[in-house]
């Protein structure tokens, strides 16, 4: 199964011509609707930022308006009460470990599927597509049983292994699409010079396909940071919770304190949105090609 | 090492037996090496996905609790699932979910993508703004909307204060008649921008000459949209429709966080029900049969997709 391939948005053809310029005013209603849609998309998150900067009294009287005075008290209070130093560290470990593992595992597999002779490679690729579309409910319960017996529940490493396994198929397919563009001549020239396969990957493939690795790394990191289902099922120890499930627990505990929970939500949302705005193209390209998941 | 650079043995040249054997050995070694590179991926897949999936098939025919031994009970779990009113209610909710999840994000996505395809200035900015909710964690989005939908300090309350009738006291998530569509609305909200970006990429792949031809024929914008744009992006539409079936069956996160399937089961779907059966009721065997059925439906949808693609109905 193949997702429709997405090409990088080309500049719309012919828009700059004088013929179009004459019709420019007719685009105004388009912009009007686009602004309404943008407000719909972003408005709720903007009210979150507002609430994080207000105190509960002013949220109570006018919940949806901007703050009248800026206060960072909520952030300081949420940081200590939610123990975000610990959960952020846990999530950082999870993200880095997941990104590194997925890049290595998927990188090796993608190299094999693009430049080596894999027997029944079509079947392998087909399975990778199918495997990433199947619902996790298919293997959830026996996996939990096995992880309990192996002592891998309540363990960041145990959670990381699951992320490696569930993210790598998608990452392999994405990286393969990058590696397949590297001409075989390069690889064969390196081989004739006596380079080992691993050396070829490090010295030939990585430098040429690094945008692919960057994309895969970003997506795997984003998923590990945001992931919630596996974390809540497999990690119950509060000291080991990643930010997603600890935020949820925090929000349940302080459900009446909207100012505090909003500040906590900013801790989780902030890094993602900033990174997204900086590397927008790469995020969009990676996530839209992973539409199967 | 240099053997790798050789051409594959099937060059048609007559080869001496010894050379042929050497070539076969080299080919075997090349295949073994390729498998070695695939081993971490396939090994992990076997450990986490394939192994437990096979176990699910077995457990679905047992009365397993999730911990102790399991006794074979034949098709009991499946006959139970067919008769279970909670499964039926959950499936109904999945169906409602599917209809909403198909129409709302697709409609908004098509609208957004079409408008984006018509403009040049700020296109990237709007695209980014539409896309942001999709990259924000489900727990955060859910928490934002929980407060926005609250009857005491949410949007409805604010509108009620302004004098809008009815909406002031609606507990969107706490009322059995609105809980499911309210959660679905939040999922649609975070998802439509993603759909818009996919549609935009597809629209930019449509041959501009087709639009010029339509214009020569005197087609207005709407006619161009229905006669050129929609047929041009049909493969993407077909793909998204079929994926929506799968995604609707998988719906879990937002429901689990926002309503936990309630109140009174009014937003329970198959995946949240299956989760409860497994981890609250400790009926892992029954849960396995539900999980396997979900996977079966998913595989069926993917098979249909392959068929549609091969037949070329979408091209």
- The SS3 assignment for B62 reads strand
pLDDT of B167 reads 76
Final residue before a domain boundary, out of A31, A53, A71: A71
Contacts of B204 (CB under 8 A, 6+ apart): A7, A9, A10, A12, B117
Whether the predicted pLDDT of A288 surpasses 50? yes
Shortest Cα distance, chain A CAs vs residue B294, angstroms: 7
pLDDT at B13 (0 to 100) = 56
Give the CATH number for residue A170: 1.10.3720.10
Q: What is the pLDDT of residue B50?
A: 93
- Domains annotated for chain B, with CATH where assigned, are 76-311 (1.10.3720.10)
Q: Would the pLDDT of B58 be above 70?
A: yes
Report the residue of A7, A10, A142 to disrupt the B interface, i.e. the one with the largest count of B CBs within 10 Å.
Answer: A142
Asked whether the beta carbons of residue B147 and residue A258 sit closer than 8 angstroms, the reply is yes
Q: Are residues A184 and A203 in the same domain?
A: yes
Answer yes or no: do A253 and A154 share one domain: yes
Q: Are B284 and A248 within 8 A, CB to CB?
A: no
**Looking at the complex, does the CB of residue A26 fall below 8 Å from at least one CB of chain B?**
no
Retrieve residue A176's tokens: 């393969």
Assess if residue A7 is contained within a domain: no
Q: Are residues A142 and A235 in the same domain?
A: yes
pLDDT band at A117 (very low <50, low <70, confident <90, very high): confident
Contact B49 A165 (CB under 8 A): yes
Q: At B14, is the pLDDT very low, low, confident or very high (cuts 50, 70, 90)?
A: low
Q: Say if residues B64 and B240 touch (Cβ distance below 8 Å).
A: no
Average pLDDT over residues A165-177: 92
Predicted confidence (pLDDT) per residue in B92-129, tens digit: 999 999 999 999 999 999 999 999 998 888 999 999 99
A11-25, A71-85, A211-225, B232-246, range with the lowest pLDDT:
A11-25
Q: Please give the pLDDT value at position B255.
A: 95
Residue A9 located in a structural domain? no
pLDDT over 70 at B289, yes or no = yes
Residues in chain B: 315
Q: Is residue A4 part of a domain?
A: no
Residue B140: pLDDT over 70: yes
Find the mean pLDDT for residues B199-206: 90
CA distance B288 to B296: 12
Q: What is the DSSP code (8-state) at residue B72?
A: B
In a domain? residue A260: yes
| pLDDT over 60 at A10, yes or no | no
| Whether residue A94 is found in the same domain as residue A25 | no
Q: Which residues pair with B72 in a beta bridge?
A: B62
- How many Å apart are CA B185 and CA B183, to the nearest integer? 5
Say yes or no: ipTM exceeds 0.85.
yes
Contact present, B113 and B199 (Cβ < 8 Å): yes
Q: Report the C-alpha gap between B315 and B309 in whole angstroms.
A: 8
Look at residue A176 and tell me if it is in a domain.
Answer: yes
- The domain boundary residue, chosen from A51, A71, A91: A71
Kindly report, residue by residue over A51-106, the tens digit of the pLDDT: 888 887 777 777 777 887 777 888 888 998 888 999 999 999 999 999 999 999 99
SS3 at position B109: helix
Please tell me the distance from the alpha carbon of residue A99 to that of residue A168, in angstroms, as a whole number. 10
Q: Please compute the mean of the pLDDT values over residues B66-83 and round it to a whole number.
A: 88
Residue A50 is assigned to a structural domain of this protein? yes
How many domains does the structure of chain A reveal? 2
Q: Mean pLDDT check: name the lowest of A24-38, A154-168, B265-279.
A: A24-38
Domain span at residue A47 reads 18-71
Closest CA to B108 of B181, B189, B180: B189
Residue A83 and residue A147 share a domain: yes
DSSP labels, B185-229: HHHHHHHHHHHHHHHHHHHHTS-HHHHHHHHHTT--HHHHIIIII
pLDDT for residue B313: 57
Q: Kindly identify which residue of chain B lies nearest to residue A193, measuring between CA atoms.
A: B2
């Amino acid at each position: 199964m193949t997702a429709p391939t997405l090409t990088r948005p080309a500049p719309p053809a012919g828009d700059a011509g004088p013929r179009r310029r004459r019709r420019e005013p007719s685009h105004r209603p388009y912009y009007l609707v686009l602004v309404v849609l943008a407000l719909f998309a972003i408005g709720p998150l903007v009210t979150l930022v507002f609430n994080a900067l207000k105190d509960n009294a002013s949220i109570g009287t006018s919940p949806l308006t901007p703050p009248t005075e800026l206060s960072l008290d909520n952030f300081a209070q949420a940081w200590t009460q939610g123990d975000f130093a610990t959960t952020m560290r846990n999530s950082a470990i999870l993200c880095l470990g997941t990104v590194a593992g997925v890049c290595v595992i998927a990188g090796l597999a993608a190299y094999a599927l693009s430049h080596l002779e894999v027997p029944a490679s079509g079947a392998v690729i087909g399975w990778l597509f199918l495997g990433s579309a199947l619902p996790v409910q298919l293997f959830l319960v026996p996996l939990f049983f096995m992880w309990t017996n192996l002592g891998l529940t309540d363990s960041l490493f145990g959670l990381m292994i699951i992320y490696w396994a569930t993210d790598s198929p998608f990452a392999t397919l994405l990286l393969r699409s990058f590696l397949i563009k590297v001409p075989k001549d390069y690889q064969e020239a390196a081989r004739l010079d006596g380079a080992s396969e691993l050396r070829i990957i490090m010295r030939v493939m990585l430098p040429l396909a690094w945008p692919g690795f960057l994309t895969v790394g970003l997506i795997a990191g984003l998923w590990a940071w945001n992931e919630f289902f596996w974390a809540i099922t497999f990690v119950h120890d509060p000291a080991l919770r990643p930010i997603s499930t600890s935020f949820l627990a925090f929000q349940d505990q302080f459900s009446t304190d909207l100012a505090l929970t909003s500040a906590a939500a900013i801790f989780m949302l902030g890094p993602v949105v900033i990174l997204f705005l900086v590397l927008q193209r790469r995020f969009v390209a990676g996530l839209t090609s992973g539409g199967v998941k | 090492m240099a053997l790798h650079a050789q051409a594959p043995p099937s060059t048609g040249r007559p080869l001496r037996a010894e050379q042929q054997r050497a070539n076969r050995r080299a080919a075997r070694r090349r295949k073994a090496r390729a498998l070695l590179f695939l081993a971490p991926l396939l090994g992990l897949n076997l450990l986490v996905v394939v192994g437990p999936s096979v176990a699910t098939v077995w457990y679905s025919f047992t009365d397993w609790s999730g911990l102790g031994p399991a006794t074979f009970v034949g098709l009991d779990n499946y006959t139970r699932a067919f008769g279970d009113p909670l499964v039926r209610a959950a499936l109904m909710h999945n169906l409602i979910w599917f209809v909403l999840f198909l129409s709302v994000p697709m409609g908004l996505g098509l609208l957004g993508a079409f408008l984006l395809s018509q403009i040049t200035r700020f296109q990237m900015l709007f695209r980014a703004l539409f896309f942001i909710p999709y990259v924000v964690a489900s727990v955060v989005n859910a928490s934002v909307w929980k407060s926005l939908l609250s009857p005491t300090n949410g949007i409805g309350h604010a509108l009620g204060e302004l004098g809008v009738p009815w909406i002031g006291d609606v507990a969107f998530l706490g009322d059995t008649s609105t809980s499911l569509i309210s959660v679905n609305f939040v999922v649609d909200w975070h998802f439509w921008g993603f759909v818009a970006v996919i549609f935009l990429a597809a629209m930019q792949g449509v041959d501009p000459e087709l639009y010029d031809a339509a214009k020569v024929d005197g087609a207005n914008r709407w006619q161009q949209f229905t006669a050129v744009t929609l047929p041009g992006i049909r493969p993407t539409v077909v793909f998204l429709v079929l994926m929506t079936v799968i995604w609707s069956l998988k719906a879990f996160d937002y429901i689990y966080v926002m309503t936990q399937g309630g109140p009174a089961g009014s937003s329970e779907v198959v995946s949240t029900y299956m989760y409860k059966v497994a981890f609250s009721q400790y009926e892992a065997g029954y849960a396995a049969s539900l999980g396997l059925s979900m996977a079966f439906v998913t595989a069926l949808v993917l098979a249909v997709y392959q068929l549609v693609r091969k037949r070329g109905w979408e091209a």
